[in-house]
Amino acid sequence: MSSERPEELAEPPTGEGRQASADGRDRDPASDHGHSDAATRHEATVVVRGETVHDVGPDSPPKDASPKDKEKSPRKEVSAAKLHLQGRLPVLDDDHDVGVQKEQVVTRDGKADLAFTGTLLASAAPPSAPTGQWQEYRIYETTGGKHVFAKVTRSVFAEQQDAHEAEIYDPSPSSVPSQLLRSARDLTRSRPVTWMDAAADFFGYDPLAKALYRKLSAQFEEHIS
């Protein structure tokens, strides 16, 4: 049996390359230095395709963050009944009444409603209402020879009430609107006032009004020579 002792393995000198941590485990100073830098740095700069991008630290708020006190605007409540009317445009509920003589009631805001026996001559509405609002134009003729012009402004939102306007054209001189129109025509020595003139004064000549006029047999164009 040999008396030679096995060679003792050389151990690295204490303190070189490793340091003991507080919990007794070895630490790598290089790695500790890296962790220290990462902990103290709040912003890193990265070059991507020639552009400098700043990495925002954990304490920095996102750029698109809105203020906490900013409140979202409440959504408006929509009326199911008027939403149905909007979906049918340009068709109106009383389109089947055009040319039919019957008892009519025309609503007016701030005035008494108009009740008469007469005929709906024509009506018009826009082909769509993307904003949720639209207008409806109607022209009636009474059995007594008067004309009624009606304009309704509708909205699909429940909190907004529909607006109703209406005027009467009476060809007799006793009608105040007729007298005013006749006086204006007389001053300019023009042709006598007709219900078509009164309709143009009430509706104007916007695209919807022109669509209404085209549905009538009367001529609303201005003829020149």
Answer yes or no: is 150 within a domain: yes
Of 45-49, 70-74, 121-125, 180-184, the range with the highest mean pLDDT is 121-125
Answer yes or no: is 154 within a domain: yes
What pLDDT is recorded for position 171? 85
Answer yes or no: is 61 within a domain: no
Q: Are 28 and 18 in contact (CB under 8 A)?
A: yes
Identify the band that residue 73 occupies on the pLDDT scale cut at 50, 70 and 90.
Answer: low
Number of domains present in the structure of the chain: 1
Identify the band that residue 105 occupies on the pLDDT scale cut at 50, 70 and 90.
Answer: very high
Identify the band that residue 222 occupies on the pLDDT scale cut at 50, 70 and 90.
Answer: confident
Distance, CA of 169 to CA of 200 (rounded, Å): 12
Domain range for 101: 80-214
What pLDDT is recorded for position 179? 57
Answer yes or no: is 58 within a domain: no
Answer yes or no: is 198 within a domain: yes
Q: Are 52 and 45 in contact (CB under 8 A)?
A: yes
What pLDDT is recorded for position 44? 45
Query: In terms of DSSP H, where are the helices of 118-214?
Result: 176-187, 195-203, 207-214
Average pLDDT over residues 4-20: 48
Who wins on pLDDT, 174 or 145?
Answer: 145
Answer yes or no: is 45 within a domain: no
| pLDDT digits 0-9 by tens, 130-149 | 999 999 999 999 999 999 99
Distance, CA of 72 to CA of 170 (rounded, Å): 52
For residue 151, give the nearest of 81, 212, 78 by alpha carbon. 212
Answer yes or no: is 40 within a domain: no
What pLDDT is recorded for position 63? 53
The neighbouring-strand residues paired with 169 are: 147
**b/e per residue 144-170 (b: at least 16 CB within 10 A):** eebbbbbbbebbbeeeeeeebbbbbbb
Identify the band that residue 10 occupies on the pLDDT scale cut at 50, 70 and 90.
Answer: very low
